[in-house]
């Protein structure tokens, strides 16, 4: 039977089901990446004291900003949809040539930026010394020195991201899923063996991170060599198709850089609260991004090329269905994660980071307080991320940029207003969540004006997920009252694991009673896998 003879509903179900299976593969890789990322932060806290931890954390901020400003998310959010669209209409050669030009031009710019950033790292880090910040002069000096190794790193991160975007355009998700995990493993080895409380050790450590980025790129290049070998260095910035892609990518570059600018803004205001808060902010940020970074990013990774291909082929109902399914799946996971993390914030931080006496109860308490403020963003930023990628996939890249600019205004304003209250440093993460809410409202209102591709059935799923979360949190609070997370490290881990398992069982149980399709789908999928096993 030809593709045209297959009923539309059957093709739609098959496509969405295949996308969900692919999402599981990507999520598994992201889970390993996040788990190893936690291990990396634990090793950092073990190998550095407070000053060097803050310096190591700050050292990444400005190189990451330049990376996002020049290319960053534009690689995946513009190249993957563009290549997917080219493949959907059987114009692979056009896509390969245009992307080759795009990457060649950006690579030249990136090399220049890496050289300038390395030379002028000291003046760049003086932005943190403004406004009578409590960040120490020694910390800033160490951060600027360490960044000299991290500027070259962003060039290889660009090449790695390019390889991932191209391979995912060809639906080679299994080949890219493990790459971030491998990068983290090499980074952990570098930190463990090279880190120490001296400038020399800090420099050697960031040099090891540079080596990890080189290995990260080479791994993906060789596993995807059959596809990546098509791409060549073609420096033709006047090419019409390249300019079309560049016009589409520029807003994505700027909107992606907004995220990193907000990180710098938060670190800037974190300096008002003394030593240790910058690292606590990083810890809290890493924890809330467990569900977001695994589930939402995993779902969005699969959704982006699928929406791009269906939209390019003018299958608008499929475009709507992919976004609907992605939103419902992501939010179904985001709500219970936000509720559980808010309820158990201090215990979660201790379980993840407190593996030695160097990470004190005060460190854990500070990170736990900041984590509570991030919990709203687990839900709202999931919506922002998926709508951003949907807009980018259909070529409307200026809208995510406009929504991102809200953050450049709202984050410093809210931080400035809240610093005069008595709520303390939780104001940093509250400001981030407020910004996320505003961005979400703008993106949803604008996208949903497009009737032919707007998502459907999402509000019903949200209401049911909220109810399931409330019931879950109520029961977990009762369990926590009778079983607090005290005792040895092993006891703490067992208790938090039991509460986590109880939360999953309760949430899925209530969802099954309410006949939510997200719960029934994943449970049926797991049963099928066990039967095959």
User: Residues 283-316: pLDDT tens digits?
Assistant: 888 888 888 878 888 788 778 878 888 888 888 8
pLDDT at 383: 94
What's the pLDDT band for 120 if we cut at 50, 70, 90? confident
DSSP 5-52: GS-HHHHHHHHHHHHHHHHHHHHHHHHHHHHHHHHHHHHHHHHS-HHH
pLDDT at 123: 85
pLDDT tens-digit map of 237-268:
888 888 888 887 777 777 766 776 777 788 77
Domain contains 51: yes
Q: CA-CA distance, 144 to 199, in Å (whole number)?
A: 11
Domain contains 88: yes
Domain contains 502: no
Mean pLDDT, range 171-197, rounded to an integer: 84
Q: CA-CA distance, 65 to 71, in Å (whole number)?
A: 10
- Enclosing H/E stretch for 419: none
Q: CA-CA distance, 288 to 410, in Å (whole number)?
A: 21
Domain contains 229: yes
Sorted by sequence, the CB contacts under 8 Å of residue 499 that are 6+ apart come out as 340, 344, 347, 476, 479, 480, 483, 485
| Pair of tokens at residue 365 | 């308490």
Q: Report how many domains make up the chain.
A: 1
User: Residue 425's domain spans which residues?
Assistant: 3-456
The mean of the pLDDT values for the chain is 82
Confirm if 353 and 41 have CB atoms less than 8 A apart. yes
Q: Select from 462, 454, 446, 448 the least CA-distant residue to 514.
A: 462
What's the pLDDT band for 72 if we cut at 50, 70, 90? low
> 10 Å Cβ neighbour count for 408?
16
Confirm if 371 and 284 have CB atoms less than 8 A apart. yes
Q: CA-CA distance, 374 to 341, in Å (whole number)?
A: 10
- State which of 129-143, 212-226, 412-426 shows the largest mean pLDDT: 212-226
Is pLDDT of 5 > 50? no
Window from 26-35, 167-176, 190-199 with minimum mean pLDDT: 26-35
Domain contains 8: yes
Domain contains 487: no
Domain contains 367: yes
Q: CA-CA distance, 18 to 524, in Å (whole number)?
A: 14
Confirm if 175 and 231 have CB atoms less than 8 A apart. no
The model carries a pTM of 0.72
Q: Select from 385, 520, 485 the least CA-distant residue to 440.
A: 385
Q: CA-CA distance, 129 to 240, in Å (whole number)?
A: 44
DSSP for residue 332: H
- State which of 23-32, 229-238, 432-441 shows the largest mean pLDDT: 432-441
3-state helix, strand, coil in the chain (%, to 5): 85, 0, 15
- Enclosing H/E stretch for 194: helix 179-194
Q: CA-CA distance, 487 to 528, in Å (whole number)?
A: 39
Is pLDDT of 3 > 50? no
pLDDT at 531: 61
Domain contains 483: no
Neighbour-count burial for 269-291, b at 16+ CB within 10 Å, e otherwise: bbbbbeebbbbbbbbbbbbbbbb
Sorted by sequence, the CB contacts under 8 Å of residue 244 that are 6+ apart come out as 98
> 10 Å Cβ neighbour count for 36?
18
- State which of 38-47, 120-129, 195-204, 330-339 shows the largest mean pLDDT: 330-339
């Amino acid at each position: 039977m030809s593709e045209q003879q297959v009923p539309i509903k059957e093709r739609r179900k098959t496509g969405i089901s295949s996308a969900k299976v692919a999402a599981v593969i990507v999520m598994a890789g992201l889970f390993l990446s996040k788990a190893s990322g936690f291990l990396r932060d634990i090793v950092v806290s073990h190998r550095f004291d407070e000053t060097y931890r803050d310096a190591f954390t700050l050292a990444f901020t400005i190189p990451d900003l330049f990376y996002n400003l020049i290319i960053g998310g534009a690689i995946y959010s513009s190249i993957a949809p563009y290549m997917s669209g080219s493949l959907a209409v059987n114009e692979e050669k056009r896509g390969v040539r245009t992307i080759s030009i795009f990457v060649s031009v950006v690579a030249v710019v990136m090399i220049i930026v890496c050289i300038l950033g390395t030379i002028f790292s000291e003046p760049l880090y003086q932005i943190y010394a403004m406004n009578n910040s409590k960040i120490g002069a020694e910390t800033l000096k160490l951060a600027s020195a360490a960044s000299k190794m991290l500027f070259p790193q962003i060039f290889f991160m660009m090449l790695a991201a390019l390889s991932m975007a191209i391979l995912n355009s060809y639906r080679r998700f299994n080949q890219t899923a493990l790459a971030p995990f491998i990068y983290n493993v090499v980074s952990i080895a570098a930190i463990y063996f090279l880190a120490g409380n001296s400038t020399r050790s800090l420099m050697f450590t960031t040099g090891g991170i540079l080596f990890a980025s080189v290995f990260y790129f080479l791994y993906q290049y060789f596993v995807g060599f059959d596809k990546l070998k098509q791409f060549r260095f073609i420096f033709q910035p006047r090419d019409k198709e390249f300019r079309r892609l560049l016009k589409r990518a520029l807003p994505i570059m700027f909107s992606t850089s907004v995220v990193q600018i907000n990180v710098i803004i938060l670190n800037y205001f974190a300096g008002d609260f003394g030593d240790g808060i910058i690292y606590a902010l990083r810890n809290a940020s890493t924890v809330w991004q467990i569900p977001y970074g695994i589930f939402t990013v995993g779902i969005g990774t699969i959704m982006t090329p699928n929406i791009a291909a269906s939209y390019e082929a003018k299958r608008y109902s499929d475009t709507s269905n992919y976004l609907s399914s992605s939103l419902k799946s992501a939010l179904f996971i985001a709500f219970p994660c936000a509720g559980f993390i808010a309820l158990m914030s201090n215990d979660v931080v201790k379980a993840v980071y407190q593996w030695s006496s160097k990470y004190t109860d005060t460190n854990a308490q500070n990170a736990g307080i900041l984590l509570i403020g991030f919990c709203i963003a687990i839900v709202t930023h999931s919506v922002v991320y998926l709508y951003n990628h949907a807009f980018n996939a259909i070529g409307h890249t200026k809208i995510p940029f406009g929504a991102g600019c809200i953050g450049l205004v709202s984050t410093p304003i809210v931080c400035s207003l809240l610093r005069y209250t008595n709520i303390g440093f939780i104001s940093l993460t509250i400001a981030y969540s407020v910004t996320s809410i505003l961005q979400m409202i703008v993106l949803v209102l604008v996208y949903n004006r497009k009737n032919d591709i707007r998502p459907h059935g999402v509000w019903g799923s949200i209401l049911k997920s909220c109810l399931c979360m409330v019931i879950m949190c109520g029961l977990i609070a009762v369990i926590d009252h009778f079983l607090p997370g005290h005792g040895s490290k092993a006891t703490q881990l067992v208790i938090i694991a039991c509460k986590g398992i109880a939360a999953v069982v309760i949430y899925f149980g209530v969802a099954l009673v309410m006949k939510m399709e997200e719960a029934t789908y994943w449970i049926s999928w797991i049963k099928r896998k066990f039967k095959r096993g």
